[in-house]
Structure 1
Amino acid sequence: MSKTNAERLLKQSNVSFESISYPVDLSDLSAQAVSEKIKFPLSSVFKTLVLEDDQKNYLFAVISGEEEVNLKAVARASAAKKVSLVPMKVLESLTGYVRGGVSPIGAKKAFPVFLSDRAIGQPFIIISAGKRGQQIKLSPDDLLEFTSGILYRNR
């Protein structure tokens, strides 16, 4: 299987990770479906959302599959007045990724990464490798360090 940008970047930086592949069902791209296919608990499968703040800055919010994004909490953490989800139609042109395959690593442009504090204490989290059907298992600390990410409370 070919390496994604995210996997190549992690490998180049000697960050320890494991690649996990699964069959894609375009009718269900949810974290729950991914969790079931890769046989890891939903609490360890993290989804990456692309948000825009009131100043037209973009950012990634990486949250547990068990959570819904709290826009007020992300705004607080990013020192913005408010944030909103980026419309699907601009997702690919903005990041180079399609829905169901967005990774906080290796996007067209490096946006700030905000990681939910649900990752604290977990030995690993699983994030998208940057394409549907491929995930990366790594330590939350490594993700934060690699992306210069910020831990925040998603509530």
Structure 2
Amino acid sequence: MGKHKEKEIKTNAMRILEKNKVPYEVLQYECDEFIDGLHTAEKTGAPVEQSFKTLVVQGKSREYYVLVIPIAEEVDFKIAAKAVGEKSVEMIHVKDINKVTGYVRGGCSPLGMKKQYTTVIHESAQDFDEIYVSGGRIGTTLKLSPKKLAEVTGARFCEITAK
């Protein structure tokens, strides 16, 4: 019985990590609806500075980009645009999250989106052996190496938040 339950909660993010032989830890928390990253960290006991949120922006070119930033920080759209080579970028509409990523708000993982978008991880992630990101559904957080996350998503590390 125990084995079966584990199988059910596999997300695309977890499958991708396994396929790439990336070790990770799953933290589950009780949650029926969207809560922000700070509350998620509180529920899982994950250190705030090691907890990252996944944002999706769209550039002037209509391309989508994935930004992984510390949960307590805000993205600087000018810096982020420069980091991905766009004139400007803006957040996608909440109603478009599922259409673009295949995930729901609050359960958006940088891994396993419908397409592999250009991904930028905030440079502070490199200060840690492990960071926490969404596991691909509300109530699931993954703890993994930021370097491995960058390898699997093809991401670069960059400063992309407001100072």
Bucket of the pairwise TM-score, normalised by the shorter protein:
over 0.9
- Determine which of 86, 91, 105 is the counterpart of 1:80: 86
2:121–2:157 CA contact under 8 A, matched in 1: yes
1:126 aligns with 2:132: yes
Q: Give the C-alpha shift of residue 25 in structure 1.
A: 4.9
Runs (5+) with no aligned partner, structure 1: none
2:32–2:138 CA contact under 8 A, matched in 1: no
User: Which structure: larger Rg?
Assistant: 2
1:53 aligns with 2:71: no
- Determine which of 36, 41, 64 is the counterpart of 2:70: 64
Q: Give the C-alpha shift of residue 126 in structure 1.
A: 0.5
Tell me which residue corresponds to 1:4. 11
RMSD of Structure 2 on Structure 1 (CA): 1.0
1:99 aligns with 2:105: yes
Query: Once the two structures are superposed, what CA deviation does each residue of 1:20-56 show, in whole Å capped at 9, x if it has no partner?
Result: 1011152x51111011000111111100001000000
Tell me which residue corresponds to 1:152. 158
Which one-letter code corresponds to 2:146 in the other structure? P
1:142 aligns with 2:148: yes
Aligned partners of 1:98 and 1:25: how far apart in 2? 12
Runs (5+) with no aligned partner, structure 2: 1-5
Give aligned-pair identity as a percent. Answer: 35
Aligned partners of 2:78 and 2:31: how far apart in 1? 32
Q: Give the C-alpha shift of residue 142 in structure 1.
A: 0.5
Aligned partners of 1:97 and 1:25: how far apart in 2? 15
The secondary structure found in structure 2 opposite 1:11 is helix
Number of aligned positions between the proteins: 154
Q: Please give the residue correspondences for 1:28-39 in structure 2 after superposition, counting only pairs within 5 Å.
A: 29-39=35-45
Which one-letter code corresponds to 2:50 in the other structure? S
> Which structure is higher in helix share?
2
